[in-house]
Structure formats: structure tokens, C-alpha cells
């Protein structure tokens, strides 16, 4: 067994610090070259230790996906936060409480109903909420289309109700389904142009709309220009994963997260190796299933982090993983005797990290630290 | 909004106590009728409050899927535990430590390598480990076939090395892939007969093998006889889920878990309702995708728990769910205005419960308690 791993009870989550730093540096350079501010999305890492390496300053800016994340990061001094899920009216009292404590928390919405609820809660809480209107740039999920008459109606309700309308945001989640770099580039331009068009429409109607926020890791990676955009929000780039590698966003050896697992048995006649990490550790995310290279529940590497030719986690039960060759040939199970450890790269970093309480940080092949992460709601 | 849910920040995990109790009673009756002991598997609930309702006594017996579960439940007085994942040699020191503290923890293995490692650790730790040999009854995962010569070789290594060989266990995980009750019945008989055959072979060779442990919720539900079996291990029955309903193991209104979510927006022209629960809350488990009725990421119910005709969570992002009609017809989004709450039944209870810190317990439609759960490793 790898000396540094002897004391670790498996499964556990390893974080290769050098790979992570390389990923962070690359995205920071991208933002600089594109002339936009970074607002890293912390929903992937959920760790202040990682976040501090991602953010431009200890106070942010940053994006979150839950109010519990907002509480956690604000508790660690991150004060400039964007909560990137359409605000549920019942959560506005919590948002107001955070704002009263000094957290510059901005919320998003995309409907007249939500705008009216926010104005009403603002009056009840005596709070001038900060708001971005969510724009639908790809038909993927939420948002109002830039040409939709409701865009200006929402803005009017917010202004008349005393809210601070700061601008627009969009997320081209559809970029995850692109099948070429050219397609991602086109999606990035679509994301940019929709957001900018919406902001211009607001401004033409007399709203300030200083903020134009876009982003997904794929579109930020391949955007050719971001004229009119003020900030990008990206999260998964910090660790990268097999889905990102399948999209051409990163190389396999940019994937900074892996699950350390121990071999517990074999079905040698089938070429199967059984390990003590299953879907609870890897997640049920099968994001590479729709990509040209299906990595099963994860790509299997040796203890040093080098892929073992074509070995993937082909099936997963709760705490069992079945490793087998991707191409169906028989793996020589004797190569991984009972008790050996492997590192499994994840399809989707956000999902694989979720059940773990901490990152075991690898530096120069040794575990040098444990960084806690928060989870839940 | 449902009065009792007003103070809950969504998403949160609701547990219908009456449904749970009915599920528990039904499985207990099954075990009684079949003349076997229950060893409930606690990997689904991971909660002492739920476990105490499942177990025959406060000290067990019970089954777990991680040593962290063993620590947690033993810390709450559950002393008779079976750890149902093939033991990794490096975990034997931890197992020995638990046993020295008074936990009657039994481990499983299915290879000569693992048996030799256990004997070696037993000598080092001065511990007579209690062991079941895992039998492969369905080709699904781990285990040695009852007719395999290695069965007796493993038993010999254990006996000569001073371990306590207590018998055999098997798990017919393949029952989840059955497509009829008859097929599950046949699988239950196959699970029983393989385990009993292995135990008889051990006894014929002079080993005691008093324990014959089998089980999965589907096979335990439909087994016609369990002659020769001493105990069944079932876990998911306590909550049930859409996969179990799809197998005919339970009805939809036996599903005791649901995720409470709030409507945050619509894409009315598409018939989409957006909620603040996505795959982080529901899990990425799509176990019903291969069943006759595909429930997406979950079946949507109103606040009282009644299914809303054919509405499912059709897509899920990390913290966003898209509700739409299963049959592709357009749902009238106005029926669920922004701020309304829905309850989403899970495909797979074990996976959906995993990211939550607690169960909000529903009794008579009111949330009356919060029961903590443990997670991770």
C-alpha cells in the first residue's frame, strides 16, 4: 500500500493540491484575458479552505447554491455572495437576517410572482433586497427570455417596491450537453449575448443593471469574448472531473479529486475486482454515459494517481464497487490483490464530494491536511 | 402552505411515521410466518430512532454497511452487529477495537486471501474474529459459489487460524432487476437454496455453521419458504420507495419518505414547474428508468402526500428540480404557484436520505420530531 495511505480508512476523498491549484490558476487567467471578474461558485467545494484559494479576496465575491452555504461561508468572512437558485418566498426572512448581520447577499428570481413576494417581504422585513433577474439563455432550466415582456414588468415591480435591481444573471447549463468545442463556443456566445441583451433592455427602460453575470465551467473555458459581461461564475473547474474531460474542458490528469478505495475481493473468472466504495462514495452520477467515452461510475487509477488501462467502476451498489475493463475484456484480477488500494476519478465532482466530511489533501504524494466540508441544507 | 410545513426551510426530508410503522409491522409478520429471525439492515435509515423501531431488541441484532455505522449504533447500545461488506484487511484493527469494547461485530469475506489476512490480524490483535463466509447466490456481486472448492478451503484457513466461523450469508441483489413477482419468488428460492447448500457443505466437512443469513427486501417479501435459513436482512422496507413499488413489493402509499420542496418558478409554455430540490436532495438514482413506469427523479405529491396525477421530477440539477408530466402532456403550471410546496417520493430511499442530517417526523400530518441521522465514513 502507498505509505501515506496506510492510516486512512476507505473510502475517503483525496484532493491533489497541485492539480487544484493549476485548475484555479488557469481559470483566473481566463477571466483576466476575457476582462471579467471571477465570482467562483462554491457549491462544488463547500470548503472554506478551497474557497479561499478560488476567491479574489477573503471576502469574495462568490456564489452559493443554498442558504446553508451562505451561512457557512459568511461565518468564515465571505460577505459578497450571490445565491444562485430562484428565491423561495419563505426564505426571504432568512435572507433578510443574513443581510442585517452584514452579509451582502444577492438573490435571483425570474417571475412577477417572485418579484411581488420579494417586495412584500422587503416591506415586512424593512429590507431593500439586492436582486438579479435570471435570464433563460439556453432553454435548459429557469429564467425569463431577454425579449419576454415580463423582463421589464419584473424590473418595474422591483423598482416600485424599493428593491435594489442590480442586473441580470444566466447559466448555460446546456453547455454540459455539447459534443464539441465549437458547440461550447457557440453556447458561450449565446449565453453572453442573451445576458447582455437583457441588461441593455433594462437599461433602455431606465434601470441601472450594472451586473451582467454568466457562467458555467465549459462556456467560461471556451468563450472567445465576453463583451458586456461583468463577471463569470464557475465552480467545478476547481476540481474538474470526467464529464469535463469528456467535454474537452480539461485533461484526465487535471482531475484533482479521487476516491481512495480498498480491494475486498474478486470474481476472477469475470475479471471483476470488488472494492469498498460504491455509489454512496462515487454518487449515482453517470454523466459520462452520454459521452463518447463512458467511464462507468469512475475511472480507476493506481495509488499514485495513474489510470490503470481502461479499468472503470462498471457497477456500484451502496458500499460496493465492481471494477472491470471498459471494453469488456477480462482484467487480470491478480494485479490488484485483496488489500490493495485504488483511486477512482469521479464523473461529477460536485456529486462525488457531497457525502464526505472532508478532503484529505495530497501534496507531493503525501496526505498533509484534512479540510472539512459542509453539506446538507 | 400546509400549516405544519411553514417553518421548514426546503428541501427537507419528511418521514411519515404511520407508513413506516406499517412497513415495519409487515416485514416482522413476514419473518414470523417464515420462522426466521430479523436482522434489519440499518444502512437505509442510519438513525437510532428508526433502528429501535426496526430491531427485535435495543441491542439488536442488526446489519450495517460501514464501520462508522457500527460505531454509531454500538454507541447507542446496539451490540449484535453484522458488517455486510467484505472486510478490508486494514479495517481489522478497527473491528478488533470495537470487539474489545464489547461489540459483538461479525465480519464477512469470500476469499482465501481475505481469510489469511484475517487470521494474521487475529494473531496480531489476539482476537478471535467472528466470521460469515459470503456466498454468491445470483452472480450479482461478491461471494463464493456453494460448490466452489474454495468454500471449504476458506473454512479450513479460518478454523486452523482460530477464527470463529459462524456460517454463511448471501444477498440476492439481482432481485432488484426482476420484472415479476414470480421472478422474485424464484430468486428468493435460489438465494435460500444456495445459502443452505453452502452451510450444509460446511457442516458435512465438520464446521458448525449455525448461521444462515439471507435477504433483500424483495426476496424477503415474496419468499414462499425459508427452510434452513436462520435470519433475514432487509433494510429498504422500512421506508420503501418507488423502485420497490415498481417491483410490486409495496404500494405507492407505503412510501414513507418524501422530500419537501418549494416552487420557485415556471416555464409555463413547456408545462414545467421549478422547485428548490434537485439531484443533491433526490440523489442521481434513476432506478425506475429500467422499470415499466419511469418516475424520473421522483413522483410529485401535494402537501398532504397524495400524488399529483402523473407529475414527476423530470430533470434535476444540483439544487433545481424540473417537474413535468410523465406522459409529456403540458402540466398547468398555475396549479402550483411560486411558494407552494410539494412532496417528492424517492426512487431509492437509501440514496435520497443520504445527504440529509435528519428526518422530520410526520404524525397525523404534523411535524412532531426531528430524528438525526449519521452519514459518511
| Domain layout of chain B by residue ranges | 3-13+250-372, 18-238
Segment B296-321 mean pLDDT: 97
* B10 touches A at CB < 8 Å: yes
Segment A224-247 mean pLDDT: 98
Measured distance CA(A54)–CA(A62) in Å, rounded: 9
Measured distance CA(A152)–CA(B298) in Å, rounded: 35
- With beta carbons under 8 A apart, name residues in chain A contacting B94: 9
pLDDT for position A3: 57
Measured distance CA(A219)–CA(A317) in Å, rounded: 34
Contact B339 A117 (CB under 8 A): yes
Residue A337 pLDDT greater than 70, yes or no: yes
Burial class (CB in 10 A: 0-12, 13-18, 19+), A206: exposed
Length of chain B in terms of residues written? 377
- With beta carbons under 8 A apart, name residues in chain B contacting A89: 338-339
The residues near A309 (Cβ < 8 Å, ≥ 6 apart) are none
Segment B294-317 mean pLDDT: 97
* B67 touches A at CB < 8 Å: yes
> How close does chain A come to B362, measured CA to CA in Å?
19
What is the DSSP code string of A186-208?
HHHHHHHHHHHHHHHHHHHTT--
Instruction: Provide the percentage of residues in chain B whose pLDDT is more than 90.
Output: 97
* A102 touches B at CB < 8 Å: no
CB–CB of B341/B5 below 8 Å? Answer: yes
Convert the pLDDT of each residue in A175-189 to its tens digit: 999 999 999 999 999
CB–CB of A104/A79 below 8 Å? Answer: yes
Q: How many helices (H) and strands (E) does chain B have?
A: 11, 17
* B339 touches A at CB < 8 Å: yes
> How close does chain B come to A272, measured CA to CA in Å?
9
How many C-alpha atoms does B354 have within 13 Å on its Cβ side? 31
Element holding A366 (H helix, E strand): strand A366-372
* B267 touches A at CB < 8 Å: yes
Which triple of cell numbers denotes residue A217?
465551467
Contact B264 A338 (CB under 8 A): no
Convert the pLDDT of each residue in A191-223 to its tens digit: 999 999 999 999 999 999 999 999 999 999 999
Instruction: Provide the percentage of residues in chain B whose pLDDT is more than 70.
Output: 99
Segment A159-167 mean pLDDT: 98
pLDDT for position A309: 87
Measured distance CA(B335)–CA(B324) in Å, rounded: 12
Segment B94-111 mean pLDDT: 98
pLDDT for position B6: 79
- With beta carbons under 8 A apart, name residues in chain A contacting B1: 90
Running DSSP on this structure, what letter comes out for residue B161?
A: T
Length of chain A in terms of residues written? 377
Q: How many CB atoms lie within 10 A of CB B273?
A: 30
Instruction: Provide the percentage of residues in chain A whose pLDDT is more than 90.
Output: 97
Across chain B, mean pLDDT equals 97
CB–CB of B138/B191 below 8 Å? Answer: yes
* A72 touches B at CB < 8 Å: no
Class of domain A3-13+250-372 as given by CATH: mainly beta
pLDDT for position B3: 57
Measured distance CA(B202)–CA(B208) in Å, rounded: 7
Measured distance CA(B116)–CA(B139) in Å, rounded: 24
Q: How many CB atoms lie within 10 A of CB B347?
A: 30
Across chain A, mean pLDDT equals 97
Burial A336-363 (b: 16+ CB within 10 A, else e): bebebbbbbbbbbbbbbbbbbebbbbbe
Convert the pLDDT of each residue in A36-71 to its tens digit: 999 999 999 999 999 999 999 999 999 999 999 999
Instruction: Provide the percentage of residues in chain A whose pLDDT is more than 70.
Output: 99
Measured distance CA(B118)–CA(B121) in Å, rounded: 5
The residues near A337 (Cβ < 8 Å, ≥ 6 apart) are A263, B113
pLDDT for position B264: 98
Segment B141-167 mean pLDDT: 97
* B307 touches A at CB < 8 Å: no
Interface of B with A in 26-55 (CB under 8 A): 43
Contact A173 B65 (CB under 8 A): no
Burial class (CB in 10 A: 0-12, 13-18, 19+), B338: buried
Segment A308-324 mean pLDDT: 97
**Angle CA A161–A120–B319, to nearest 5:** 105
Segment A234-257 mean pLDDT: 98
Contact B88 A11 (CB under 8 A): no
Residue A145: which region, alpha, beta or left (left: phi > 0; alpha: psi -120 to 50)?
beta
| Band of residue B305 on the pLDDT scale cut at 50, 70, 90 | very high
pLDDT for position B2: 56
* A276 touches B at CB < 8 Å: yes
**Angle CA B139–B143–B146, to nearest 5:** 85
Sheet of B37-38, strand order: B37-38, B231-232, B211-214, B164-170, B130-135, B104-109, B80-83, B62-64
The residues near B278 (Cβ < 8 Å, ≥ 6 apart) are B316, B317, B318, B319, B320, B321
Segment A333-361 mean pLDDT: 97
pLDDT for position A1: 46
Residue A239 pLDDT greater than 90, yes or no: yes
| Band of residue B73 on the pLDDT scale cut at 50, 70, 90 | very high
End-to-end CA distance of chain A: 37
- With beta carbons under 8 A apart, name residues in chain B contacting A283: 283-284
Residue with cell 482460530: B162
* B141 touches A at CB < 8 Å: yes
pLDDT for position B1: 46
Contact A317 B173 (CB under 8 A): yes
CATH number assigned to the domain covering A19-238: 3.20.20.10
Measured distance CA(A131)–CA(B281) in Å, rounded: 25
- With beta carbons under 8 A apart, name residues in chain B contacting A350: 318
Contact A318 B110 (CB under 8 A): no
pLDDT for position A2: 57
* B147 touches A at CB < 8 Å: no
Identify the CATH assignment for B18-238 out of 3.30.1050.10, 3.20.20.10, 3.40.50.1860, 3.40.50.300. 3.20.20.10
Measured distance CA(B132)–CA(A210) in Å, rounded: 67
Residue A136 pLDDT greater than 50, yes or no: yes
Rg of chain B over Cα atoms, rounded to whole angstroms, equals 22
Convert the pLDDT of each residue in B187-244 to its tens digit: 999 999 999 999 999 999 999 999 999 999 999 999 999 999 999 999 999 999 999 9
CB–CB of B89/B117 below 8 Å? Answer: yes
Burial B26-36 (b: 16+ CB within 10 A, else e): ebeebbeebeb
pLDDT for position B190: 97
Amino acid at each position: 500500500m502507498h505509505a501515506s495511505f496506510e492510516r486512512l480508512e476507505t473510502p475517503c476523498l483525496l484532493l491533489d493540491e497541485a492539480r487544484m491549484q493549476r485548475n484555479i490558476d488557469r481559470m483566473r487567467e481566463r477571466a483576466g484575458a476575457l476582462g471579467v471578474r471571477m465570482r467562483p461558485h462554491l457549491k462544488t467545494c463547500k470548503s472554506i479552505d478551497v474557497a479561499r484559494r478560488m476567491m479574489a479576496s477573503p471576502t469574495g465575491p462568490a456564489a452559493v447554491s443554498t442558504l446553508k452555504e451562505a451561512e457557512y461561508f459568511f461565518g468564515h468572512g465571505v460577505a459578497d455572495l450571490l445565491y444562485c437558485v430562484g428565491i423561495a418566498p419563505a426564505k426571504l426572512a432568512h435572507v433578510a437576517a443574513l443581510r442585517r448581520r452584514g452579509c451582502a447577499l444577492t438573490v435571483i428570481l425570474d417571475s412577477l410572482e417572485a418579484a411581488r413576494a420579494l417586495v412584500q417581504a422587503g416591506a415586512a422585513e424593512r429590507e431593500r433586497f439586492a436582486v438579479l433577474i435570471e435570464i433563460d439563455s439556453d432553454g435548459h432550466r429557469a429564467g425569463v427570455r431577454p425579449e419576454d415582456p415580463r423582463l421589464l414588468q419584473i424590473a418595474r415591480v422591483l423598482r416600485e417596491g424599493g428593491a435594489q435591481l442590480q442586473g441580470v444573471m444566466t447559466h448555460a447549463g446546456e453547455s454540459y450537453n455539447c459534443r464539441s468545442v465549437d458547440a461550447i463556443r457557440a453556447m458561450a456566445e449565446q449565453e453572453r449575448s442573451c445576458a447582455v441583451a437583457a441588461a441593455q433592455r433594462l437599461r433602455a427602460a431606465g434601470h441601472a443593471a450594472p451586473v451582467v453575470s454568466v457562467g458555467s465551467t465549459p462556456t467560461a473555458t471556451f468563450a472567445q469574448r465576453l463583451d458586456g459581461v461583468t463577471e463569470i461564475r464557475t465552480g467545478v473547474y476547481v476540481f474538474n472531473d470526467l464529464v469535463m474531460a469528456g467535454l474537452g474542458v480539461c485533461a484526465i490528469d487535471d482531475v484533482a479529486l479521487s476516491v481512495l478505495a480498498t480491494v475486498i475481493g474478486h470474481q476472477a473468472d469475470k475479471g471483476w475486482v470488488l472494492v469498498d466504495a460504491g455509489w454512496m462514495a462515487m454518487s449515482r452520477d453517470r454523466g459520462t454515459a452520454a459521452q463518447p467515452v463512458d467511464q462507468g461510475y469512475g475511472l480507476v487509477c493506481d495509488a499514485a494517481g495513474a489510470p490503470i488501462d481502461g479499468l472503470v467502476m462498471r457497477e456500484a451498489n451502496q458500499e460496493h464497487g465492481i471494477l472491470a475493463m471498459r471494453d469488456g475484456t477480462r482484467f487480470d484480477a491478480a494485479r490488484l490483490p485483496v488489500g490493495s488500494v485504488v483511486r477512482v476519478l469521479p464523473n461529477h465532482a460536485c456529486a462525488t464530494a457531497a457525502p464526505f466530511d472532508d478532503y484529505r489533501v495530497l501534496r507531493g504524494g503525501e496526505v498533509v491536511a484534512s479540510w472539512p466540508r459542509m453539506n446538507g441544507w
